[in-house]
């Protein structure tokens, strides 16, 4: 039998909802509905109260304003009488329970509990009191209603009050869901006219303020300043708020203006806003008497209610009808929730909010139309297009040409939302949701929502003034946000969290310390950039040093170092900087100082000519050049050299040799004799008087650095002998034309260098051409950018930059045997020399450059090994030996030759072709561990057991007989045992064999404890095998207790352990702000003590 709901006036969509509530009570005592603001959920509550008016019903709401609204709803309904129809209804605010004792709550007489806007139960005290009420009334029936189920969205306290997994009061109780989209689809709620004017001026002011920190001498900052200037020009032409108001406010309309809850700088309090708004409306051409303002704030109490009542009934505070005037209610929170005013034409949003709840509550005031949208829609449908256009004209509603009837009706029905504070994200989201819902319904996928599709138009009429300009400004604002000071703040955050500024270059973040793959702040790159660009002595450099910046990798210029020296001088009055003096600020010693000022000063003393410009600058800040080796005359130094010769019989003085007497080395010696000798070798002509004097005391001039002309003469000799200048690269000579293995003059490399470096048109170039120089294969004639362009062509053609080193080309992408451009060589050099983070590096990366270690072929590696052998006479390459040329160790060498040799030793059969080639260059295959079979190794292990009574073989144990350690033993029994422990299953045949000779497979204690603990805590052993195989029982227990205390699930829905169990201590500290030390102490040791 159909029940009659006309007394309350329940809307059809709510009748459906209410019947579901009744249905729900058949099986449960707690039922809830979710209803969008403005769709009449209050009526459902009242219907329930009416149907149970013989029972004590307690109806809780968040504010007295809502109680007012409910009473008005009843009083305004001619079918209802509060006393007659609701004799047992007790309307209360949640707050009324706060000061009640347990006993008082227990003694409340209540059968039905209606909880309106129940998401407020997330408030701890309100929630606790309601809980007490329910617990003390076991037979109570509970009905919950709300528009939003989530409390404190987007905050750490976010809580979904119907979360099915958290055992909330209303978890799994919602029987009917009807949101704004449902309302719009059913035409219970109108669509929207949405007008927004981005507050560009305010944003621009903010930008201008931030731009004060920009440094116009820096290119990035300069660009930003230019953009800001352009933006200013655009703003001057942009429409203002008054334009938006003029276009969208109806002169006799009714609006609610939502003001911000707090005044900013005391300027935008509600009265100031009203004053400002009045100016706008006057600018529309209205007279002051045509504008009626109302105001309601929580402090106004009775006066606020008077204002609300007047606004509700379209009268002024004296009771005169003002329905033909512009009526604007200025409110903060009073209209947010559950309080409605009829026939509102729109809302003005003057309050920015990040809360969707607040936003949609405000929007709901515009949408709430007391259910007559559908009625009006049906009425307008009967109008002709012309009649509707006339109506629009009368109401001053703008309609575009060729508009459809449907759209006109929507315009007539739609309230206007004027958003002055850029809450635009929400409306776009709502519009998208609506579109999705329409699609969903069209596909007839069906859901439990109460709706049918009558809506044809799903687009809101949204106009956002200045959107493009706002985008520009927003972008600028973002870029400014990443400006130096902002970035510095992020760096500081990092420093405060990690104690250093060793930020990996890939590190992106949003807060400065948490890595975020999609982080907006590229802190790592910024730090790297600062290291390269900023001078440590500058203000910024000093700020960075204060938070742990390391500048060493930066190559400090002479001038930068000079600045430090100057600072030292200014503080100490001299430049007597101790050799080991390190500093960060130039004048204070710091053990961990980044700048080796002492060393630098010492170098200057040795290298700089006091009469040079730099020398003069240094002298000006107290430099003492006296100990410099050149203070002694040539003759004086010669005397010392002579003494050396007399003592040692030669003049082979090491370059580092310092002395005070000429023949004895002295670490602190004042005379750098070694350096002097080297200089003489380079600078003195052996045939000169000085040369002759030096030759007389054993001077060797052979390795003398020859001048260009001297080398040219030798090259000329080569040409005269050979008829060309095709000198092999490895050509050494003493006379210019004959090869000599021990030749002192490397003519080949010199000719190569000339080919690369000398401009053929220069004087040197011409001279070389005259003796047959060929410049064609010169790779450096092209600039870096030109070479880059060719590399780019290669990349575009081949999709990569894997250019063979021998690749020659003329066009960049085709190999040409006679090609003039050695692209391969160039690429290889870039790989070796260019820093991937530099500008060149970045450009190369963009066309597929690979900077990692090049994968060399076996033959290439062999060639390098051969070079090692040729240099060292053996192939005993240390495992960690890295190199670039095969024989010299380089810390940053690209080729791990040591590792390769070790791998060959393990993987190559000595009898194979490769093995033979390796043997030819001194390969030693003896320590290869896998030559013995498993059974043979087992026999040796057995011998160990028989001799030692156990199989506790140290992993470094080498032997030849199985039981005695031999440093040079060929058999790594220790490693073999380790491998067996890893690879052999204890229950297998081999496992059993090993157990027989004392093998202990388990290396871990507490395995059983871990198992038991997991069983007790429902942790799936199999699913979490890896974690559980490694975690200690203390850590497992402590982390579990911690998670439980934090109400965090220890396993997820798939039974996998929470991430904290497999996290490192550092990551855990960063993410959860707790260390392993604290966890163990608080949740394991303290618990155990208790």
* Residues at the site binding another protein, with contacts judged by CB under 8 A: 504, 506-507, 515, 879, 899, 902-903, 906, 952-956, 974-975, 977-979, 982, 1000, 1002-1006, 1026-1027, 1030-1035, 1059, 1062-1067, 1076-1077, 1080
How many angstroms separate the CA atoms of 422 and 200, rounded? 10
| Shortest Å distance, C-beta 856 to another protein | 15
Bridge partners of residue 515, in order along the sequence: 509
* DSSP state at residue 161: T
Say which residues have a Cβ less than 8 Å from residue 560's Cβ, sequence separation at least 6. Answer: 535, 536, 537
**Whole-number Å distance between alpha carbons of 308 and 318:** 13
Strands (E), 455-574: 461-465
898 contacts 877 by C-beta, under 8 angstroms: yes
Q: Residue 556 in contact with residue 534, Cβ under 8 Å?
A: no
Task: Give min distance, CB of 983 to another protein, in A.
Answer: 9
Which C-beta is closer to another protein: that of 320 or that of 511? Answer: 511
Structure tokens that stand for 621 in this block: 């800040």
- Min dist CB 898 to another protein, Å, is 10
**Shortest reach from residue 1004's CB to another protein, in Å:** 6
Phi, psi of 576 (to 5 degrees): -85, 65
To another protein, the closest distance from the beta carbon of 973 in angstroms equals 12
Q: Which is nearer to another protein, 515 or 587 (CB)?
A: 515
Nearer to another protein, 165 or 506 (CB): 506
Closer residue to another protein (CB): 172 or 906: 906
Pick between residue 190 and residue 974 the one whose CB is nearest to another protein. 974
Minimum CB–partner distance for residue 481 and another protein (Å): 24
- Non-local (6+) Cβ contacts of 240 within 8 A are 197
Which is closer to another protein, CB of 236 or CB of 1073? 1073
Provide, rounded to whole angstroms, the least separation between the CB of residue 233 and another protein: 42
State the minimum distance, in angstroms, from the CB of residue 939 to another protein: 21
CB of 469 to another protein, least distance (A): 38
CB of 1029 to another protein, least distance (A): 8
The full 3-state SS of 400-469, as one line of letters, equals CCCCCHHHHHHHHHCCEEEECCCCHHHHHHHHHHHHHHHHHHHCCCCCCCCCCCCCCCCCCEEEEECHHH
What is the rounded CA–CA span in Å between residue 806 and residue 818?
11
Q: Which is nearer to another protein, 81 or 926 (CB)?
A: 926
Minimum distance, C-beta of residue 442 to another protein, in the bound complex (Å): 43
CA dihedral 580, 585, 588, 594 (to 10 degrees): -30
Q: 91 with 74: CB under 8 angstroms?
A: no
Half-sphere exposure of 986 (CA within 13 A, CB side): 8
Strands 595-596 and 582-583: antiparallel
Question: Shortest CA distance to 41 belongs to which of 65, 70, 81, 78?
Answer: 70
CB nearer to another protein: pick between 391 and 1076 = 1076
* Length of the chain counted residue by residue: 1090
φ, ψ at 53 (rounded to 5°): -70, 0
Q: Which is nearer to another protein, 503 or 790 (CB)?
A: 503
Report the distance separating Cα 773 and Cα 715, nearest Å. Answer: 10
Q: How far is the CB of 1017 from another protein (least distance, A)?
A: 19
CB 974 within 8 A of CB 928: no
Find the shortest distance in angstroms from Cβ 519 to another protein.
Answer: 12
**Residue 302: which of 9, 523, 68 has the closest Cα?**
68
Q: Which is nearer to another protein, 1 or 1003 (CB)?
A: 1003
- SS3 (DSSP) at 365: helix
Nearer to another protein by C-beta: 394 or 1064?
1064
CB of 980 to another protein, least distance (A): 12
- State how far the Cα of 241 lies from the Cα of 239, in Å rounded to an integer: 7
Kindly tell me which of 516 and 796 has the beta carbon lying closer to another protein: 516
Q: Which of 315, 363, 316, 311 is nearest to 342 (CA)?
A: 311
Which CB atom, from 761 or from 1064, has the smaller least distance to another protein? 1064
CB of 902 to another protein, least distance (A): 5
Q: Quote the least distance from Cβ 1042 to another protein, whole Å.
A: 16
What angle is formed at CA 42 by the lines to CA 40 and CA 44, rounded to 5 degrees? 85
> Between residues 456 and 1004, which has the closer beta carbon with respect to another protein?
1004
- Tracing tokens 């050396």 back to the chain, one arrives at 644
Is the Cβ–Cβ distance between 297 and 291 less than 8 Å? no
Q: How far apart are CA 782 and CA 228, in angstroms?
A: 39
Nearer to another protein, 480 or 1038 (CB): 1038
Beta carbon of residue 889, minimum distance to another protein (angstroms, whole number):
15
Shortest Å distance, C-beta 1070 to another protein? 9
Closer Cβ to another protein, 147 or 953, answer by number: 953
Return the ∠ at Cα 164 (arms to 159 and 167), rounded to 5°: 75
User: Hey, is 543 helix, strand or coil?
Assistant: helix
Q: Judge contact between 711 and 682, C-beta under 8 A.
A: no
Q: Residue 821: what are its φ and ψ, rounded to 5°?
A: -105, 115
d(CA 673, CA 634): 11
Radius of gyration of the chain, Cα coordinates, nearest whole angstrom: 43
Sequence-ordered list of residues with C-beta below 8 angstroms from that of 834, at least 6 positions apart, any chain: 840, 841, 844, 851
Q: Indicate the residue among 813 and 900 with the shorter CB distance to another protein.
A: 900
- For 362, the token pair is 């405000």
**Residue-by-residue DSSP string for 183-223:** HHHTTSS---EEEEE--HHHHHHHHHHHHTT--TTSHHHHH
Closest to another protein by CB, 391 or 1033: 1033
């Amino acid at each position: 039998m159909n029940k009659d709901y006309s007394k309350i006036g329940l809307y059809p969509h709510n009748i459906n909802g209410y019947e579901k509530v009744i249905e729900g009570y058949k099986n449960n005592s707690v039922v809830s509905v979710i209803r969008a603001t403005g769709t009449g959920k209050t009526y459902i509550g009242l219907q329930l109260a009416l149907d149970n008016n013989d029972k004590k019903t307690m109806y809780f709401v968040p504010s007295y304003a809502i109680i007012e609204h409910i009473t008005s709803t009843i009083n305004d309904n001619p079918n209802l009488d509060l006393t007659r129809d609701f004799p047992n209804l007790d309307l209360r605010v949640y707050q009324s329970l706060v000061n009640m004792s347990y006993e008082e709550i227990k003694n409340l007489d209540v059968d039905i509990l209606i909880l309106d806007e129940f998401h407020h139960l997330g408030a701890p005290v309100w929630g606790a009191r309601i809980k007490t009420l329910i617990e003390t009334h076991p037979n109570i029936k509970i009905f919950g209603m709300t528009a939003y189920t989530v409390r404190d969205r987007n905050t750490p306290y976010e809580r979904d009050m119907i979360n099915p997994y958290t055992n909330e009061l209303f978890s799994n109780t919602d029987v009917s869901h009807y949101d704004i989209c449902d309302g719009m689809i059913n035409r219970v709620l109108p669509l929207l006219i949405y007008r927004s004017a981005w507050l560009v001026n305010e944003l621009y002011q903010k930008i201008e303020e931030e731009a004060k920190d920009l440094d116009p001498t820096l290119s990035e900052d300069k660009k930003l300043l230019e953009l800001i200037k352009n933006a200013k020009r655009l703003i001057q032409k942009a429409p203002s708020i008054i334009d938006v108001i003029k276009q969208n406010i109806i002169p006799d309309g009714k609006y609610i203006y939502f003001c911000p809850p707090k005044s900013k700088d005391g300027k935008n309090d509600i009265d100031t806003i009203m004053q400002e708004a009045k100016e706008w409306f006057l600018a529309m051409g209205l007279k002051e008497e045509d504008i009626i303002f109302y105001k309601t704030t929580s402090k106004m109490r009775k006066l606020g209610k008077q204002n609300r009542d007047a606004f509700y009934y379209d009268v002024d505070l004296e009771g005169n009808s003002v329905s033909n005037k512009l009526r604007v209610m200025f409110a903060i929170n009073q209209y947010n929730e559950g309080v409605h005013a009829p026939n509102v034409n729109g809302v003005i949003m003057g309050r920015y909010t990040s809360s969707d709840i607040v936003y949609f509550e405000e929007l709901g005031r515009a949408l709430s139309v007391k259910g007559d949208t559908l009625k009006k829609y049906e009425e307008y449908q009967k109008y002709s297009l012309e009649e509707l256009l006339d109506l629009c004209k009368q109401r001053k509603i703008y309609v575009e040409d060729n508009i459809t009837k449907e759209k006109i009706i929507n315009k007539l029905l739609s309230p206007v939302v004027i958003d002055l504070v850029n809450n635009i994200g929400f409306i776009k989201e709502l519009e998208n949701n609506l579109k999705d819902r329409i699609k969903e319904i069209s596909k007839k996928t069906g859901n439990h929502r109460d709706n049918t599709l009558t809506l044809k138009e799903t687009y809101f009429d949204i106009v956002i003034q200045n959107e493009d300009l706002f985008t520009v400004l927003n972008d600028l604002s973002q870029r400014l946000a990443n400006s130096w000071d902002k970035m510095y703040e992020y760096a500081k955050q990092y420093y405060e969290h990690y104690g250093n500024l060793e930020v990996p270059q890939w590190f992106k973040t949003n807060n400065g310390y948490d890595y975020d793959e999609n982080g907006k702040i590229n802190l790592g790159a910024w730090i790297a950039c600062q290291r390269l660009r900023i001078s440590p002595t500058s203000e910024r450099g000093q700020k960075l040093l204060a938070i742990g910046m390391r500048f060493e990798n930066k190559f400090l210029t002479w001038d930068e170092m000079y600045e430090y020296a100057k600072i030292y001088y200014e503080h100490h009055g001299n430049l007597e900087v101790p050799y080991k003096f390190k500093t960060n600020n130039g004048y204070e010693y710091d053990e961990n100082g980044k700048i080796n000022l002492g060393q630098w000063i010492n170098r200057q003393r040795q290298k700089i000519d006091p009469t040079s410009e730099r020398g003069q600058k240094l002298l000006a800040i107290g430099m003492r050049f006296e100990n410099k080796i050149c203070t002694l005359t040539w003759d004086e130094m010669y005397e010392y050299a002579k003494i050396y010769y007399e003592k040692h019989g030669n003049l082979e003085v090491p370059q580092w040799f310092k002395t005070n007497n000429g023949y004895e080395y002295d670490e602190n010696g004042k005379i750098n004799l070694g350096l002097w000798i080297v200089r003489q070798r380079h600078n003195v002509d052996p045939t000169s008087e000085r040369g002759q004097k030096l030759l007389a005391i054993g001077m060797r001039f052979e390795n003398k650095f020859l001048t260009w002309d001297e080398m040219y003469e030798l090259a000329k000799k080569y040409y005269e002998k050979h008829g060309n200048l095709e000198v092999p690269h490895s050509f050494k000579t003493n006379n210019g034309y004959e090869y000599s293995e021990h030749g002192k003059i490397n003519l080949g490399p010199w000719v190569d260098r000339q080919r690369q470096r000398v401009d053929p048109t220069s004087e040197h170039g011409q001279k070389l051409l005259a003796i047959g120089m060929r410049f064609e294969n010169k790779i450096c004639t092209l600039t870096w950018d030109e070479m880059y362009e060719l590399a780019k062509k290669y990349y575009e053609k081949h999709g990569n930059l894997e250019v063979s080193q021998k690749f020659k080309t003329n066009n960049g992408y085709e190999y040409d045997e006679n090609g003039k451009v050695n692209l391969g060589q160039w690429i290889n050099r870039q790989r070796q020399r260019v820093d991937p983070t530099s500008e060149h590096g970045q450009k190369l990366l963009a066309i597929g450059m690979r900077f990692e270690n090049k994968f060399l072929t076996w033959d290439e590696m062999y060639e390098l090994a051969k070079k090692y052998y040729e240099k060292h006479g053996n192939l005993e390459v240390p495992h960690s030996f890295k190199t670039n040329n095969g024989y010299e160790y380089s810390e940053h060498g690209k080729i791990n030759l040591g590792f390769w040799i070790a791998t060959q030793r393990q993987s190559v059969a000595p009898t194979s072709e490769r093995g033979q080639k390796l043997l030819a260059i001194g390969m030693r295959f003896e320590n290869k561990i896998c030559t013995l079979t498993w059974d043979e190794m087992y026999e040796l292990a057995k011998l160990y057991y028989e001799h030692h009574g156990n199989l506790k073989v140290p992993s470094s144990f080498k032997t030849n007989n199985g039981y005695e350690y031999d440093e040079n033993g060929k058999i790594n029994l220790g490693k073999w045992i380790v491998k067996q422990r890893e690879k052999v299953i204890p229950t297998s045949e081999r496992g059993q064999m090993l157990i027989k000779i004392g093998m202990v497979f388990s290396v871990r204690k507490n395995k059983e404890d871990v198992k038991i603990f997991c069983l007790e805590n429902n942790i799936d052993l199999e699913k979490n095998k890896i974690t559980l195989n490694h975690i200690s029982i203390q850590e497992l227990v402590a982390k579990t207790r911690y998670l439980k205390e934090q109400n965090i699930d220890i396993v997820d829905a798939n039974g996998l352990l929470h991430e904290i169990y497999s996290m490192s201590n550092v990551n855990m500290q960063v993410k959860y702000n707790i260390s392993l030390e604290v966890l163990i102490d608080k949740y394991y040791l303290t618990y155990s003590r208790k």
